[in-house]
A and B are shown apart, each in its own frame.
Chain A
């Protein structure tokens, strides 16, 4: 009887652990690459540049005053927690869906003023068509809404998907989260399971 209980417990343990990382594949980037620009204006192929590492990617525009700062703040907290856990196999990517405004210089200002840790965090901009293609396969929507000219400068706001996505080391999107309200413990747990 005791042996049966032990076997059951072992089977349950194996089953739970086997299913633990069984996230569905939402999208496979295996045959796709998107040439983007980082904040130093250097070309990088996303996501293959991070192949072999887990990627936490968020979508933002720097003129966004409310939702996107919450998303980047959540990414900052995740980054800090993973560093505490000494998990060095994770890269962070913040991808702008407003490349017309978010030039590499604007991204540098954004990083500087908010003091983001760029050790393993890259901010991306790039060609609008390339960004749009990336958004499409990621099922992220960003539709320009209010456009105004302030002191001669065009200011565009967007209706946009609130998204952080988790990509595994084989470049597959495994889970999506609401960027501004993500459960930090949940994604940390998911990263540990991948």
Chain B
């Protein structure tokens, strides 16, 4: 009898854990961060993080903030062309990503601005970055440091 009860408890735990794992996998796939990289920079400087953000979910979502211990302040920015061949950068509060679409954070466009780096970020290193969304669960990811992409 004890063996049967033990078997039932084991089965419940197994099925329960399995469904939690499946749920977590589903949640993590709702939003995908692809090809992330951050440009190398020295301690005290600013740099930028780039990636592709894919919304696989059934609802529109927004990237609302990014966290990392690598910098004193992190903001969502966009580089825009000003008149007469001038360039400027502006902070944007959040970035909406419609369901089933992909948003590219790339040089000369939207990027994550890391302000006042705490330490050197040489090419080849990596930093832990947490992405926060308005609906999807936050996700942490290791991001590789590169000098340039070409």
Contact = CB atoms under 8 A, between A and B. Distances in A.
Contact of B86 (A64, A76, A141): A141
A73 interface: yes
A66 B79 contact: yes
B86 A66 contact: no
Contact of A65 (B44, B88, B113, B122): B113
Nearest to A76: B148
A29 interface: no
Interface in B106-150: 107-108, 111, 113-116, 120-123, 147-148, 150
B24 interface: no
B115 A161 contact: no
B40 interface: yes
B46 A63 contact: yes
A57 to B, nearest CB: 16
A113 B48 CA distance: 15
A146 B46 CA distance: 14
Interface residues of A, number: 36
Given A110-B42, A113-B120, A145-B88, A67 B79 contact: yes
Contacts of A141: 84, 86
A158 B82 CA distance: 11
A122 B87 CA distance: 24
Interface of B: 39-48, 72-73, 77, 79, 82, 84-91, 107-108, 111, 113-116, 120-123, 147-148, 150
Q: 6 closest A-B pairs (Cβ-Cβ)?
A: A65-B48, A109-B42, A159-B88, A113-B42, A73-B148, A150-B116
9 contacts: A65-B89, A67-B79, A69-B48, A109-B42, A113-B121, A114-B147, A155-B46, A161-B85, A178-B85
